[in-house]
Structure 1
Amino acid sequence: MTKPAPLRPVDAASVLLIDRSLDRFRVLVGKRSSKHVFMPDVYVFPGGRRDRHDSRTPVSAPLHPAAIERLLLHTPARTRQATLHGLGVAALRELHEEAGLTIGNHVSGKPGALPFLPDLSALRFFARAITPPGQSRRFDTRFFALFTDEAEIDPTAAADSHELLDLRWIDIFEQLDVDMHMITIQVLEELKRCLQEDPSLPFGTHVAFFRNHRGQVVRNTL
């Protein structure tokens, strides 16, 4: 019997929204519904797959040039520009859909379109992870960090959705009291390392890249 080909990872984006207003760093997480096939009943950062229309969605401000430079690494040349733009849009679209938060300028548009023009300019690209083979779903996820004050977001405005439940702000440097998948913890640890090196999270720093090698998750840098 022919062995099925491994699933090809699809592009996805996730946002680590950081609140630094209380002299500490807190990040927004929510619990995935038990109805999800991929990673049900665990806490994650808002995010999801890049939809086809994300690459064509207009924005109020593009990604920072330094973020683009890092995103270009190990990105297929034939899809580069569409992928980069679409990843930034996907990150903020998912944040809006899953947590009710809007980053950008409100607009009145046609049904089905985003009710705002995403502002991608403050997204810091700091981590990337590819789901290992053998999973029911595989994603090539780019993780972006975003400060609430830079995005003019009120942390108390985050609201549960049918996709993310029990939204909460967790202190990055305290012991976790929520159930997370190992890769989510690794990305959170990466954010902690970046903040310890420079709390401002400057654009263009090296990006952690987690992927599978001979059955083990390895960390490289971009």
Structure 2
Amino acid sequence: MTAAPAGMPIRPAATVLAIRPHADGPRVLMGQRGAGAAFMPDKFVFPGGAVDADDALVPLSPGLDALCHTRLSDTNVPPAALAAAAIREMWEETGLMLGRPGTWPGAVPTDWAGFAARGMVPSADGLRFIFRAITPPGRSRRFDARFFMVDAAGIAGDPDNFEGACDELRCLQWVPLAEARALNLPFITEVVLAEAARIMRTGEAQRFVPFFDSSGPASIFRQIP
């Protein structure tokens, strides 16, 4: 793995755990990064990526619920921009849309042109902020990632149709949640999967959102109330 240069910026990012009910237990949408990827090569991950500047301009219909908005309001990145980035990255990497039919109220950002061309506006309805993690120092890239969980019922269209996906993730599939941790995963993905499984198993509201904070010299688990 190539080490990150000193002083590498930590970019805000957003990731989606789409959960799909199944007779044999819930399944989660994952894909495998390419062997030549600069960040986490060969690893199975959830759809996600960095926040773009235009994500702050995107109308969400509807927006985040009040609790998620509050828990995401501790940085200079607007909560709605994080939610929009999660929706956009899922669309780009899987071809699946979290949105509703509608007309955009203004100019459509370039990265959202394909989404709007389908007559859809992005919807944060059902997105649940469940985890935050900052990539530790020494990695080829560093992100301050927020992980959202969403019911696959919120996907517009066929959840098995990945024809619109870009080539960033291969082997896109709905993985049984109980088997996902046996895949080739980044450490933090294992931790987030365990939290998602706990939420699904207990059905309880989170008293806090776990935060794996590696912004300093040591990684610390914090709690976002």
Bin of the TM-score, shorter chain as denominator length: 0.7 to 0.9
Q: What SS class does the counterpart of residue 220 from structure 1 fall into?
A: strand
Task: Measure the CA separation in 2 of the matches of 1:183 and 1:162.
Answer: 23
> Residue 145 of structure 2: SS of its match in structure 1?
strand
CA contact (8 A) 2:96 2:155 kept: no
Q: RMSD of aligned C-alpha atoms?
A: 2.4
Aligned letter for 2:98?
I
- SS in structure 2 at match of 1:35: coil
Aligned to 2:45: 44
Report how far residue 174 of structure 1 moved.
3.0
Spell out, residue by residue over 1:70-126, the C-alpha distance to the aligned partner (whole angstroms, 9 max, x if none): 112xx23xx35xx21111000010111100101112457758234231100210000
CA distance in 1: counterparts of 2:13 and 2:187, whole angstroms: 18
Q: 2: distance between equivalents of 1:132 and 1:27?
A: 25
Is the 8 Å Cα contact of residues 6 and 134 (structure 1) preserved in structure 2? no
Where in structure 2 are the equivalents of 1:168-187 lying within 5 Å?
A: 168-174=173-179, 176-187=181-192
1:80-91, aligned counterparts within 5 Å?
A: 80=77, 83-91=78-86
How far apart are the structure 2 equivalents of 1:192 and 1:64? 22
Total equivalences in the alignment? 210
Match of 2:214, SS state, is strand
User: Counterpart of 2:170?
Assistant: 165
Q: 1:148·1:154 contact (CA, 8 Å) conserved in 2?
A: no
TM-score w.r.t. length of structure 2: 0.83
What's the CA shift string for 1:149-184, capped at 9, x where partnerless?
Answer: 244554322445301100111111236442111111
Question: 1:60: which partner in 2?
Answer: 61
State the secondary structure of the residue aligned to 1:189: helix
SS for the counterpart of 2:97 is coil
For residues 135-214 of structure 1, the aligned pairs below 5 Å read 135-151=139-155, 154-159=158-163, 160-174=165-179, 176-198=181-203, 202=205, 205-212=207-214
Cα offset, 1:128, TM superposition: 0.3
Unaligned runs of 5+ in 1: none
- Taking structure 1 as reference, are residues 155 and 136 closer, same or farther at Cα in structure 2, changes over 3 Å only? same
1:105 aligns with 100
Letter in 2 for 1:88: A
Per-residue CA distance 1:4-41 (angstroms, 9 max, x = gap): 74322110000000001435111000011233211111
Deviation at 1:215, TM superposition (A): 5.7
Find 2:133's aligned residue among 129, 133, 143.
Answer: 129
Q: Do the aligned partners of residues 171 and 35 (structure 1) sit closer, same or farther apart at CA in structure 2, a change above 3 Å counting?
A: same
The normalised TM-score by structure 1 is: 0.84
Question: Would the aligned equivalents of 2:134 and 2:215 in 1 still touch at CA under 8 Å?
Answer: no
Question: 1: CA distance between counterparts of 2:48 and 2:207?
Answer: 22
Q: Deviations over 1:186-222 (max 9, x none)?
A: 1111111222221xx64x6411101238765432211
